[in-house]
């Protein structure tokens, strides 16, 4: 009875360790009853294999990996590549710690049954390691690596699991020695190093996407500045020639050539028109550049983008943050309306500054079903791993100003509302 209770407590402790590891990367985003149900299934699996002392350790290892992968995927809806990599890293380190602990105990207590003692000590060590990492580890968002780089890094934890498993089998048949302990410690250090490289490469990939946003912002601002410069140069030329043209116009009216006079007036009005594609003229270079660019994109998609911009030229918001927020929201709206008939492709944009609050609202019709996670965040319905980071970038930019992002939609109209608290 004592052995059964001990096995149950070890299985319960292991389940708690796995769930603690998963929550390092954010709170679970699924329904609590589903999360608890899968935990219960994992607990029963661990208790069964621990009590029965399974003669098939590979099957036990495979079951552990599949359950952790299931729990992680259920909790975070993360990229499958991230799920697999973090799962293998966890078990590579856990197995290495377990083998190292058992080998050290066998050196001291030769011939003793150290399985339960070693398992308990291993769980304590791993749990403490998770708690320490949770307090000192970085909390940055990660994006999936390109497949080539992911495979290059994935190979190491996958091979490490097999090497550590083989080391464990040797320790059971040949006894423990210092060499086996050194191998396990080396595996622990190398897996930590590989995981650090993985996180750094993910950070660099995210920085690359941000750099692309900066480049687009600079390009749009440069284009806007050139268009404004050309328009002002044209206006100055018109003012320079205005006296002569008015004299000619007066002569046409005096000769009662009203049609020619009207044509001359139309030409003057047409030539004096500022860039014809401009729908935003707030004076904020980054804001106007992006809105006017998206307006031209909307025209190519046979969509109508209307906007109301009531902000001063100088905003205490970084131009890149504005482009990240507006660019992603307008891109999503444009993508949604392209699935509708041409006459329904209407997008509304409102930007207002009210009492230190910058409010941004996009509104567009849509068809289909919008899916939400348990925590209220929206799911991307695009296939593959390279999607869903637009709203992640928007949330990061909004959080930078302590702002709010919400999506008050109904069955036919989708809205995205952003509120920024300006310093």
CATH number for domain 282-423, candidates 2.40.50.100, 3.40.50.300, 2.40.50.140, 3.30.565.10: 3.30.565.10
For 98-130, b/e burial (b = at least 16 CB within 10 A) is bbbbbbbbbeeeeeeebeeebbebbbeebbebb
What does the domain layout of the chain look like in residue ranges? Answer: 2-212, 282-423
CB neighbourhood size of 279 (10 A): 17
State the pLDDT at residue 419.
92
Helix 319-337 to helix 285-300 angle (10° resolution) is 20
With left for phi above 0 and alpha for psi between -120 and 50, is residue 367 left, alpha or beta? beta
**For residues 158 and 85, what is the distance between their CA atoms, to the nearest angstrom?**
9
Identify any residues that bridge with 155 across adjacent strands, giving them in sequence order. none
pTM of the model: 0.59
pLDDT at 386: 43
Instruction: Return the pLDDT at 140.
Output: 55
Residue segments in the chain with a per-residue pLDDT below the cut of 50: 274-276, 374-376, 382-388
pLDDT score recorded for residue 220 = 66
The structure tokens listed for 369 are: 């079903």
Q: Quick one: pLDDT at residue 257? A: 84
Residues 35/28, Cβ–Cβ less than 8 Å? yes
Q: Residue 351: its pLDDT value, please?
A: 92
Structure confidence at residue 111 (pLDDT): 53
DSSP assignment of 75-95, as one string? HH---HHHHHHHHHHHHHHHH
Angstrom distance (rounded) from CA 302 to CA 337: 10
- Closest CA relative to residue 91, chosen from 44, 140, 117, 58: 58
**For residue 214, what pLDDT is reported?**
67
CB-based contacts of 160, cutoff 8 Å, min separation 6: 88, 92, 96, 187, 190, 191
């Amino acid at each position: 009875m004592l052995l059964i209770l001990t096995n149950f407590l070890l299985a319960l402790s292991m389940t708690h360790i796995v769930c603690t590891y998963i929550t390092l990367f954010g709170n679970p985003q699924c329904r609590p009853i589903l999360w608890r149900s899968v935990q219960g299934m994992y607990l029963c699996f661990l208790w069964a294999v621990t009590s029965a002392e399974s003669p098939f350790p590979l099957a036990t290892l495979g079951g552990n990996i599949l359950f952790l992968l299931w729990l992680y995927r259920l909790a975070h809806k993360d990229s499958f590549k991230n799920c697999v990599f973090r799962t293998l890293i966890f078990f590579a380190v856990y197995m290495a710690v377990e083998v190292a602990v058992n080998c050290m105990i066998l050196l001291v207590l030769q011939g003793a049954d150290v399985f339960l003692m070693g398992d308990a000590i291993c769980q304590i060590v791993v749990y403490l390691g998770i708690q320490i990492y949770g307090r000192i580890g970085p909390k940055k968002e990660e994006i999936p690596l390109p497949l080539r780089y992911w495979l290059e890094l994935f190979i190491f934890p996958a091979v490490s699991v097999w090497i550590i498993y083989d080391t464990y089998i040797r320790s059971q048949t040949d006894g423990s020695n210092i060499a086996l302990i050194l191998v396990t410690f080396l595996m622990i250090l190398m897996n930590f190093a590989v995981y650090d490289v993985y996180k750094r490469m993910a950070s660099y990939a995210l920085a690359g996407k941000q750099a692309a946003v900066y480049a687009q912002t600079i390009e749009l601002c440069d284009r806007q500045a050139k268009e404004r410069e050309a328009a002002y140069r044209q206006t100055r030329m018109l003012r320079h020639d205005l006296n002569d043209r008015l004299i000619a116009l007066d002569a046409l009216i005096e000769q009662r050539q009203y049609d020619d006079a009207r044509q001359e007036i139309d030409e003057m009005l047409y030539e004096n028109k500022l860039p014809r594609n401009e729908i935003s003229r707030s004076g904020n270079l980054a804001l106007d550049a992006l809105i006017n660019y998206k307006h031209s994109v909307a025209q190519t998609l046979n969509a109508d983008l209307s906007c109301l911009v009531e902000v001063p030229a100088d905003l205490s918001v970084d131009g890149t943050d504005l482009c990240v927020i507006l660019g992603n929201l307008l891109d999503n709206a444009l993508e949604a309306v392209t699935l509708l008939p041409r006459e329904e492709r209407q997008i509304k944009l409102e930007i207002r500054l009210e009492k230190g609050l910058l409010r941004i609202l996009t509104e567009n019709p849509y068809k289909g079903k919008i899916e939400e996670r348990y925590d209220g965040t929206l799911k991307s319905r695009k296939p593959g791993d390279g999607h869903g980071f637009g709203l992640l970038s928007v949330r990061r930019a909004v959080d930078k100003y302590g702002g709010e992002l919400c999506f008050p939609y109904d069955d036919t109209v989708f809205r995205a509302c952003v509120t920024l608290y300006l310093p």
